[in-house]
Structure 1
Amino acid sequence: MDNDTATLLPGVCALLADSGKPLPDDTSLEKLLDRLTEVSEAGVSLPENFPCLLDLISTMASNTTSDPSILSFALKLCGLMAATEDGFMALQECFALEAFFSVQRWKDTELWEDPCIRIGWIHGLSKMLLHPRALSFFVQSGFTNPLLQLQLDPSMFVSSAANQLLAHILLSIQPEEVHANTKISAEYSAVVLQLSNHIKEALVPKEGVLVTGSLQVLKLLALILDQAHHSLRDQLLNAVAASLEELIEAGYSQLTLPLMDVIMARYSPDSHDVTSHLLSSMFKNNNLIDLVHAADAFLHRGHLRDSVHTSQAVRILLLPLHCVTEHPLLETGMNFTSNSNDKCFFFFFSQIFAPTAADNHHAMMAAQLKNKSKFISMICVCLRNTPQLAFMPPDVLPCSPTMIVLSVVTLLRMFSGDTSSTSSSSLFNGYKNEKVQCIISSRKVQKCALEMLVSLSASPGVTNTVKEISEVLIHNINNPISDPTVLQKSYKALIQWLSVCKDHSSIPQLLREELLMSVKKRACDPRWEVRDSTIEFLGQLPCITSKKSADEALLSECCTAPLLWEALQDPESYVRASAILALAHIGTSSWQQGTEMPLEQADTVSRLLDILREDTEGFARRAVVRYFIALFATYSSTPLSTPSILIDSIGVVLSRGSLDLDWEVKVHTLELVELLLDSTFLEHRRHCAYGHMHGGDATLDSPLSSLVNQGVFSVLLRSLLDCDRPVALKACELLITIRDKICSAGVLTGVCCELPEQEWGKEIRTLLKNEGNEGNEGGLVGVYEVLASLGLDERRVLLSQSSDHVHNSFQSLLQDILSTGATLGCKEQQDDQEVIVDCY
């Protein structure tokens, strides 16, 4: 903290102590606390260097009339200052700690009812409890009981903060950390016992009590077990094992995931302790939805060495898909003779789906439909696990990865009403349509299945399913009721599967023709999102073909190019931008195969230059510059000579792009400049390597002259003074690159560039004059002299800072708080006038 800032702090403390009223900006106190925390963490003693803070706390300790927000701030500040032993002792000497953290004092004044005070009390203790003196103060003051009560507080913020503090306290006093101090170990053993008893008693909700308390206790237990050493972990688990078992048997669905967090916090597949027994109990639950969530939580912890529980989790997650799609994912048919759990699962699903005339079964079906959201959520959980399941070892996975992929495909077919793949002796008979409708009425399952289909493309041995996958995806694209998101995901999945498929010949010609007709229809869809996804899809197809051969193209370029050209006229700028980038993909893919630039592509270049000059939307103009970046990068990396139309276009793109009103267009233009620099200097190194053998010159005059003639220096110097910070920073970095290359060459260049008389040229001349460099006659200046005189390194440091770094300073914050002093005094007289304080 500098002196100017430090001189403002006493005034702020006096304002807070005297007014006792809330500040108009209720976040300013939190910002002030954050700043003081940064100062303290930097090693500065707050009580020693800023005695005004001690005065503020002493004043507030005897004041119960101030606004709760200011009192809460004072509690947190008191804890922050007591975080060091010196600060703790200084606060004890003025009796501030006892006064401030006395729960009874707050209760007597009824301020304890305000969550702001309770949260301040907890956060203050959290900041303080970093050394033994503070921990002794906490225990001796009897704060454990009120903190345990706050752990079940109705305020979510208070209960969460109490959880964090309880976990911090318990983890700070673990026997492994304090075993050398038997006094401390004995002193805190009571805290561990007290907390263990609290958890044991509060875990199982009493009759008529909500499970919210159990939820908070489980969160606390998971927090502690996740970081506890073995002795503390075993002590806690042994103490609460019976309560956890009772909670599992009670079958509270909303506690399934918190219970799994507790079990998996320190679960080890190599041990057969309490957690292993509890996990087995979780997998014996009769509620399949809860079982699915438990299996999901287990697999995401990655304990695959536990083959028994892993096999159970895999079967649980496959069972809903097995029954819904009727694919034999659980071995042959529905044989569950080997496992009692499987019998339980089969009974559950057969009761839901089996045809029967019994009224109670009709009621069960109706009840299941009422829980449609939970059922849909269960199916989605199963789907999200399919990519991981497909990679399971054969001794764990009861089916082939191909069967999993086909089950997802069947699920997608349901959304089109195609259930022909299911058998006539289906579990769905009698209620088939009703149950299928339960799934397809939610697009959530369809979208989830499409997302997983993309991930499943990496599964082993599944590329032989590309025909079935293409059929269902193309049907989605052709389906008139498919929404834009479904279409986008269908396009993405089709691209992904085509890219991993080694042979596209398995896709029938009839299917290709259907895709072409669908794409043509979608390119004219009234919804711009659909047109945009379609154009993006067309642009990605050439990238797939280039990896294989042109003969394997799913759609020929002669069919897709007219659609892209038409999209350049689309009224939506997003679509126009996508069309431009798609044309870039087509061009670069053909050039990477060693072919020359086609005549149509030359016409495209001309059209895009018009868009860069005329289009009113920044999206399309950005895409044009990115098009030329892709073009130039491709030719720079191939043996083909750069076409003259491309060389001629670069100068136009640089001049127009650097003057664009959109800052992203200007940044993309500088990215093109960077490619030019790399290409020019690379070519120079090649010539130098050849010229060195023949006595060639290694100076940079030739490449620098080329860059000057191309307008690169003009673009960079203009951009250096740009009002958009990202543009100026990028230009500064590129100029530093050029300067460093000149210096590393060892021979200073004599290349000059011309500065315009007005605008940025005038400003550059002013900077040169300030450095004592008047430049040459005729408006020419030396390139190196300019680069050496602009203070580029200092500029880069300044430009790298955020644009509001001055306004976000500690000094600015204190000034803003002080500025409220006058308004607080007169606000009562001007209640109709709103007071607004902008802290930063």
Structure 2
Amino acid sequence: MAMDKECMLLLPSVCALLADSNKPLPDDTSLEKLLDRLTELSEAVEGVSLPESCPCLLDFLSAVTHNTTCDPSILSFALKLGGLMAATEDGFTAVQERSTLDLSFKVQHWQDAGLWEDPCVRIGWIHGFRRMLLHPKALCFFVLSDSTKPLLQLQRDASLFVASAASQLLAHILLTYQETLHEEDGSTESQYTHVIQQTTDYMKASLPPKDRTQIAPSLQVLQLLAMILNRAGPPLRDQLLQAVASSLEDVVEVGYSQLTPALMDIIMSVYSSNKDEGAPHHAVSRLLSAMLNANKAADFLHAAAAFLHGGHHDPVNTTLAVKVLLMPLHVCIHNSLLATVSAGDEHHVLMAAQLKSKSAFVSLICVSLRNAPQIALMPPDVLPCPPASIVLAVVSLLRACSGHHSSGCSDEAFRCLLASGKVQKCALEVLASLSGSPGANNTMKSVFEVLIQYMKNPDWDPTVLHKSYKAFIQWMNICTSFPQQLREDLMTTVQKRVCDPRWEVRDSSVELLGQLAGVLALKSEDLPSTSTPLLRAALQDPESYVRASVIAALARTLAPSWQQGAAPHQGQADLVRRLLDILSEDTEGFARRAVVRYFISWFSSSPSSSPLLLDSVRCVLSLGSVDLDWEVKVHTLELAELLLDSVLSGRPGYGENGVGRSYEPACALHTRTNGPDATLDAALGFLVDQGVISALLRCLVDCDRPVGLKASRLLISIRDTVCPLLADAGDERTAMATCVSCVLPEEIRKMLERTPGDQDGDHRVGVCQVLTSLDLDQRSVLLSQSSDHVHNSFLSLLQDIMSARAAHSHTDAGQEVVVDCY
């Protein structure tokens, strides 16, 4: 963008006003918006710096720097602006020649004026340097002005925003200049080395924490180090690691658990940045080993989890991490997961000690469980047991939670596991994931037994039952058949759960039937015959969430018969009537949305139309396009789009009376003959009769933007596909043959009345005449813009700042000033 003449004339006045003010603007975002505009300008005008194109900005910066009575928000803006103007070498020189750069970024200057205590000024100083530090001159200025010291002090600032910005700036300096250092001269390298040295000295002085009061500063240093190492190249990465390696090991030795995540972030950062360079730095491998052998169970377990989650492999540490993560399961059930581990193993002793606290051990067992699926997929040389043993361990854990005290489970472990909803939910999620592990088929009997047991228990939390259902479906995916006994047990259980007083349980139960229908369809098996009547009865459920889930389940249950083209029977006709009643009468949008999606699924699955389907679609389009719920209307338009695509692409089964005829694709009609034949005219007539055109025109003027946007795009598609063929043919009779006068919404009629051209008194117009008379393209562009889109300009911003300041100066204290700053 380039600044126009009016802005160039007004900007000096705005700068002068801001420089003379000792009060903030009533709208504190206007300065940020002005800075954004100036940033856009500096990036757009290539080869021209801001000081050169807008010299009034230099005057403003000089005035504010010397005026210590300015409001801190304006001082902050000036510092950010100074950094922006000095972001290029030419701009840097221009600002420095005015002798304002040294004073602007001199911390002592603001401290003497008593302004450094305001976080706005500190943030401005940081952001100003962040914008400036893009070239060697800026780095030299930063070092020679001794700014590294205050920047390091700001790492521990009382304001979290200031401390975070300071960390970002320090990381920016180290990472930006490491990439260009080899292109620069020796003096730049010397300045850069100076920053690195001061940074590492600061890090070593902060690590490890001397006591608990020093944990927060140490944590900040660790987070900063992880941020830098994540992007650092070999020279910088090696310098940092060499400097702080022993300090990091001391942090592990101190044993503050709050620092474990940050330590693992450092390790993972190095592993990630080093993945293409072979083995990781030896200091990091040694640090990881120390973490995996920490003297607290929670620490070494979380360290192992973070390492495996990173997806890295270390010949020394991967096997140890797997052992550590399986230890809680091993301690719980005493199975053969870790057959070679003795009771005297240090990890075993530390983990067993956690059984004294139920909450602590439950947290650790959940960490172990969440990593079990990944462990089960690891190479055999890493695993201490077959993957099937991990599955059976989870099954045993679920049985213990439900009250089955096996001989392998100690009294302490049983006490921790009994009725623990947290362990149950976690174990069920993990069991679902383990269905894809090697050897899972061999454990299927035990898995289904425990899942059916969980489904039968009416006292479990609804979430536990829901996760039991999800696990059941996952294991059904790998089941080669659906044994009769399993069918009977499942249906008996689900019939009871569908009548549960808790709506969440009823909802999960009907969802299960729909999901099971999809799984069995892939195996060419059918659901038990009792499932469909059960679902139809559940349509009367008083909870709308359940009704919606029932409708979705019915769609999945009936999908196989639709795909086979089976003729609808009386029961299906009754179901359709019930669904249309829900669409027209249900007070909740969830169920009405589900009805429209049901017909979308039916229409998509059916190879040919039937009178029942077409009549239903016509009714759905009529009802759905005037629904109060915008999502219902959007789904209705999706159904209209399917019908439209089917007609215009020549899908079989859509013709007169709805059956027994197909249309040629519209594009073929023009090439096959010299002009469009009656088939296209009949296709348009069919779309009108089915209510497609009517639904689209209604939705075009809908108050919900997504609805109007989709309708406009579909109407444009019809216009661009059909109307050119009719126009090329020069057949006006065909263009006017399809009368849509009876379906035009009132708003559309009024639009057409305002359209130049003769109109018949009864508004008998054709589809193409309507579509070409409406400005669909312009409407689509407007609807594509976000709902908060408003016109804004640089000039309007400058005018708002001027008027706001004028209003503010004539306003009594305490009276609010309303500013409309775009």
TM > 0.5 between the two?
Answer: yes
> Partners of 1:315 and 1:8 in 2: how far apart?
70
Cα separation, 1, equivalents of 2:25 and 2:424: 51
Q: For residues 8 and 557 of structure 1, what CA distance do their matches in structure 2 show?
A: 79
Identify the residue that residue 748 of structure 2 maps to in structure 1. 761
Distance 2:820 2:487 in 1: 61
Q: Partners of 1:433 and 1:799 in 2: how far apart? A: 61
Secondary structure of the structure 1 residue equivalent to 2:688: helix
Residues 179-199 of structure 1: CA deviation (Å, up to 9, x unaligned): 552232123222222222222
Matching of residue 412 in structure 1 with residue 398 in structure 2: yes
How much does 1:125 deviate? 0.9
Pairing of 1:585-596 with structure 2 (within 5 A): 585-596=556-567
Aligned CA distance change for structure 1 residues 145 and 793 (closer, same or farther; 3 Å): same
SS in 1 for 2:459: coil
Match of 2:341 among 335, 349, 360: 335
Correspondence for 1:523 among 486, 498, 502: 498
Residue equivalent to 2:521: 546
| Alignment CA distance shift 1:456-1:272 (3 Å) | same
1:341-360 aligned at under 5 Å gives the runs 343-352=345-354
TM-aligned CA distance change 1:225 to 1:758, over 3 Å:
closer
Per the TM alignment, residue 618 of structure 1 is displaced from its structure 2 partner at its CA by: 2.0
Q: How many residues align?
A: 793
Q: Does 1:781 pair with 2:765? A: yes
* 2:581 equivalent in structure 1: 610
Which residue of structure 1 lines up, in the alignment, with residue 135 of structure 2? 131
Shift of 1:259: 1.5
Query: What is the CA-CA distance between 1:679 and the residue it aligns to?
Result: 1.0
SS where residue 279 of structure 2 aligns? coil
Q: Any idea what SS the aligned residue of 2:649 has? A: helix
- Equivalent residue letter for 2:327: L
Structure 1 residue 184 corresponds to structure 2 residue 188: yes
State the 1:808 CA deviation. 6.3
The question of 1:654 aligning with 2:663 is answered no
> What does residue 309 of structure 1 align with?
317
Is the 8 Å Cα contact of residues 391 and 459 (structure 1) preserved in structure 2? yes
Deviations 1:646-697 (Å, cap 9, x if unpaired)?
A: 1111111111111222221111111011100111122269754999999898
Q: Deviations over 1:3-46 (max 9, x none)?
A: 47767655654554344333444444434433443343334754
The one of 48, 69, 73 equivalent to 1:69 is 73
Inter-partner Cα distance in structure 1 for 2:369 and 2:151:
42
Q: Is the 8 A contact 1:22 1:67 kept in 2?
A: yes
Q: In 2, distance between residues paired with 1:557 and 1:6? A: 79
Are 1:379 and 2:365 an aligned pair? yes
| C-alpha distance in 2 between matches for 1:609 and 1:327 | 57
Equivalent residue number for residue 777 of structure 2: 793
User: Could you tell me how far 1:88 is from its partner in structure 2?
Assistant: 2.5
- Counterpart position of 2:636: 669
Write the distance in 1 (CA, Å) between the matches of 2:448 and 2:795: 63
Q: 1:435 aligns with which of 403, 416, 423?
A: 416
Question: How far does residue 391 in structure 1 lie from its aligned partner after superposition?
Answer: 0.8
Decide whether aligned partners of structure 1 residues 312 and 15 sit closer, same or farther in structure 2, where only a CA change above 3 A counts.
Answer: same
1:634, distance to aligned residue in structure 2 (A): 0.9
Q: Which residue of 1 aligns with 2:291?
A: 282
Q: Paired residue for 1:714, among 682, 690, 694?
A: 694
Distance 1:208 1:803 in 2: 50
Partner of 2:36: 34
Matched, 1:79 2:46: no
Name the SS for the 2:765 alignment partner.
strand
Greater Cα shift, 387-396 or 320-329: 320-329
Alignment partners' CA distance in 2, 1:418 and 1:811: 75
Q: How has the CA–CA distance of structure 1 residues 105 and 435 changed in structure 2, closer, same or farther, with 3 Å as cutoff?
A: same
CA pair 299-404 structure 1, distance change in 2 beyond 3 A = same
TM-score, normalised to structure 1, is: 0.87
Matches within 5 A, 1:479-494: 479-494=457-472
Of the three residues 523, 527, 533, the one matched with 2:508 is: 533
Is residue 2:597 matched to residue 1:626?
A: yes
Q: Give distance in 1, aligned partners of 2:669 and 2:228.
A: 70
Q: Which has the higher contact order (CA 8 A, sep 6+)?
A: 1
The answer to whether the aligner puts 1:228 opposite 2:232 as a matched pair is yes
- Tell me how far 1:82 sits from its aligned partner: 2.3
**Alignment-mate amino acid for residue 474 of structure 1:** I
Distance 1:696 1:839, change over 3 A: closer
**8 Å contact kept, 1:307–1:396:** no
AA at the equivalent of 1:566: A
Q: Which runs of 5 or more residues in structure 1 are unaligned?
A: 354-364
Change (3 A) 1:580 1:351: closer
Q: 1:788 to 1:7 in 2, by over 3 A?
A: farther
Q: What is the DSSP-based 3-state SS (H/G/I as helix, E as strand, rest coil) of the residue aligned with 2:116? A: helix
| 1:395 CA drift (Å) | 0.8
- Provide Cα deviations, 1:360-414, integer angstroms capped at 9, x if missing partner: xxxxx3xx45xx34x4333222222112111101111112222212222222233
Structure 1 residues 51, 728: CA separation in 2 closer, same or farther (over 3 Å shift)?
farther
Task: Note if contact 1:708-1:714 (Cα within 8 Å) is conserved in structure 2.
Answer: yes
Pairwise CA distance, 1:517:
4.2
Larger mean CA deviation between 484-493 and 120-129 belongs to: 484-493
Q: In structure 2, what residue type is equivalent to 1:22?
A: P
Post-superposition Cα deviations, 1:271-309, rounded to whole Å, max 9, x if no partner, equal: 5632222222222222221111111121122223x3332
Distance in 1 (alpha carbons) for counterparts of 2:110 and 2:438: 65
Match runs of 1:731-750 below 5 Å: 731-742=711-722, 747=729, 750=735
SS at match of 1:173: helix
- Structure-2 change in CA distance of 1:484 and 1:87 (3 Å): farther
Pick from 800, 818, 821 the counterpart of residue 805 of structure 2: 821
Equivalent residue, structure 2, for 1:161: 165
Post-superposition Cα deviations, 1:347-370, rounded to whole Å, max 9, x if no partner, equal 3234555xxxxxxxxxxx3xx45x
Question: Which amino acid letter does the alignment assign opposite residue 739 of structure 1?
Answer: R
The corresponding residue for 1:291 is 300
Give the deviation of 1:782 after TM superposition: 3.5
State how far apart, in whole Å, the 2-side matches of 1:627 and 1:599 are: 18
Letter in 2 for 1:450: L
- Alpha-carbon distance between aligned partners in 2 of 1:496 and 1:78, rounded to the nearest angstrom: 60
Shift in CA distance, 776/10, structure 1 to aligned 2, threshold 3 Å:
farther
Per-residue deviation, 1:814: 5.2
8 Å contact kept, 2:7–2:794: yes
Q: Deviations over 1:158-184 (max 9, x none)?
A: 222211111111122328633552232
Q: For structure 1, which segment, 313-322 or 777-786, has the greater mean C-alpha deviation from structure 2 after superposition?
A: 777-786
Distance in 1 between residues matched to 2:80 and 2:427, nearest whole Å = 49
The answer (yes or no) to whether the contact 2:152–2:202 under 8 Å persists in 1 is yes
Rounded to whole Å, the distance in 2 between the matches of 1:244 and 1:69 is: 40
**Gap runs ≥5 in structure 2:** 653-661
CA contact (8 A) 1:713 1:753 kept: no
| Structure 1 vs Structure 2 CA RMSD | 3.1
The 3 A distance-change label for structure 1 pair 483 and 691 is same
Q: Is the 8 A contact 1:37 1:80 kept in 2?
A: yes
Shift of 1:248: 2.2
Counterpart of 2:655 in structure 1 is: none
TM-score of the two chains, using structure 2 as the length reference: 0.89
In structure 2, relative to structure 1, the CA distance for the partners of 1:653 and 1:272 (3 Å cut) is closer
Could you tell me how far 1:512 is from its partner in structure 2?
A: 4.6
Return the alpha-carbon distance in structure 2 between the equivalents of residues 480 and 836 of structure 1.
59
Distance (Å, rounded) in 1 between the aligned partners of 2:9 and 2:447: 71
Do the aligned partners of residues 281 and 692 (structure 1) sit closer, same or farther apart at CA in structure 2, a change above 3 Å counting?
same
Name the CA shift for 1:616/1:521 in 2 (closer, same or farther; >3 Å). same
